[in-house]
Amino acid sequence: MVKALAQRSRVTIADISARAGVSTATVSRALNGDTRISAATRRRVHDAAQVLGYTVDILARSLQSGRSGLVGLVLGSTDNPFYGELLQEVVRQSGERGTRILILHAGFGPMERPTLEAILQYRLDGCIVSSAEPASQVAALCEEHGVPAVMINRLPMLRTAAVACDNAAGGRVLADLLCRGGHRSFGIVMGPVAASTAREREQGFTSHLAEHGFNVSHRFIRGEDEMPVTSYGGGWQAGLDIANLPVRERPEAVMAISDIMAIGVIDALRQCALRVPQDISVVGFDGIREGARASYGLTTVRQPLRQMVTWSLDLLDRISGSSTQAETLLIPGELVIRSSARPRC
């Protein structure tokens, strides 16, 4: 009695079995909803558990079952609000399914070895990878050890699965919008490290333009030294460069490879007294909340975040156990027309 209180020792199924007068096996079964247990016993067990304040020890369960109920998440730099939104959605949905999120990485750059090994050490049920650099490391490790992995918005690597927004199609839709808006010269803005995502977007954009007899006259690759990915700072620099172009050379429309870059571009253009969209149209890609602010009114292609996460989690469930196969789900993005691109010439 005193001891129990003093030691704050964990309440185990053994405690319940004692109190309910059944074996621990029965307790386990009752608690896990095994239908073979009589209603009466089940009640007694549940009551006892309730009274004692029992909670399963997932560590113990996992040791036995091999599944931890943990999903690893690899995030890029939260400098890009997209990752924050992704995190929130992943946490929400995985919570609903009763699985928890272990953060493996959040930031730019590669992962360190010990961090990577957490995948094995904690017997993760799966991994969701949404950042560029660590993708291949994680893919290799998961592949080798049979841990399901799904890339969000990255090309599937090795035999991992992937779910992505249809980047190429999105690029095409934006090109189309700008063409219809009567723009005749185009620029594109992207970060130094071109992830597959960026390349696809560009490719879709460029090829659609080509089909209509246009091409991309200016291609700005700008980034911050410390973080050579798509970033506000990179967009800002590109914006300044665009503003400094001789007027006749200046593209009438610019597609930024991500919303965060587009926002940087817009700020820089305005800084230089250029008006968006009157003087120049700017479109982005991602659909982050910030783009919806009245001060930006960013026209963009929104990634179907919710669905992408749902499918990722489904995929993880499905491929766990079965031999991992490279399966790719492509979801169309949604064109969101606001005010940063001129509708008519």
Partner DNA sequence: CTGTTAGCGCTTTCAT
Partner DNA sequence: ATGAAAGCGCTAACAG
- Interface contacts to DNA, rule CB under 7 A: 9-10, 12-14, 21-29, 31-32, 34, 36-38, 40-42, 54, 56-57, 60-61, 63-65
**Minimal distance in Å, beta carbon 230 to DNA?**
40
Q: Which does 87 bind (CB under 5 to 8 A by kind): a copy of itself, DNA, none?
A: a copy of itself
**Minimal distance in Å, beta carbon 50 to DNA?**
14
**Minimal distance in Å, beta carbon 57 to a copy of itself?**
7
Measured from the CB atom, the residue of 10 and 92 that comes closer to DNA is 10
**Minimal distance in Å, beta carbon 87 to DNA?**
29
**Minimal distance in Å, beta carbon 232 to a copy of itself?**
7
Q: Which does 272 bind (CB under 5 to 8 A by kind): DNA, a copy of itself, none?
A: none
DSSP helix/strand/coil, 53: coil
Measured from the CB atom, the residue of 37 and 177 that comes closer to DNA is 37
Q: Which does 22 bind (CB under 5 to 8 A by kind): a copy of itself, DNA, none?
A: DNA
Which residues contact residue 236 at a Cβ distance below 8 angstroms, ignoring those fewer than 6 apart? 264, 265, 267, 268
CA distance 69 to 32: 15
Measured from the CB atom, the residue of 117 and 226 that comes closer to DNA is 117
Site residues, a copy of itself (CB under 8 A): 8, 55-60, 62-63, 68, 70, 73, 77-79, 81, 83-85, 87-88, 91-92, 95, 98, 100-107, 112, 114-115, 117-118, 120-123, 145-146, 232, 236, 267, 270-271, 289-290, 293-295
Measured from the CB atom, the residue of 54 and 83 that comes closer to DNA is 54
**Minimal distance in Å, beta carbon 13 to a copy of itself?**
14
DSSP symbol at 227: B
Q: Which does 321 bind (CB under 5 to 8 A by kind): DNA, a copy of itself, none?
A: none
CA angle 136, 147, 201 (to 5 degrees): 40
Q: How far apart, in Å, are the Cα atoms of 196 and each of 8, 25, 230, 232?
A: 52, 51, 12, 19
**Minimal distance in Å, beta carbon 60 to DNA?**
3
Token look-up 């800002």 returns 236
Measured from the CB atom, the residue of 85 and 252 that comes closer to a copy of itself is 85
Is residue 267 within 8 A of residue 236, CB to CB? The reply is yes
Is residue 16 within 8 A of residue 52, CB to CB? The reply is yes
Nearest to 289 by CA among 90, 79, 82, 91: 82
Q: Which residues face 188 on adjacent strands?
A: 219, 255
Strands 300-302 and 334-336: antiparallel
Within the chain, what is the greatest distance between any pair of CA atoms?
Answer: 88
Q: Which does 36 bind (CB under 5 to 8 A by kind): a copy of itself, DNA, none?
A: DNA
CA distance 52 to 44: 12
DSSP helix/strand/coil, 49: helix
Q: Which does 14 bind (CB under 5 to 8 A by kind): a copy of itself, DNA, none?
A: DNA
DSSP symbol at 55: -
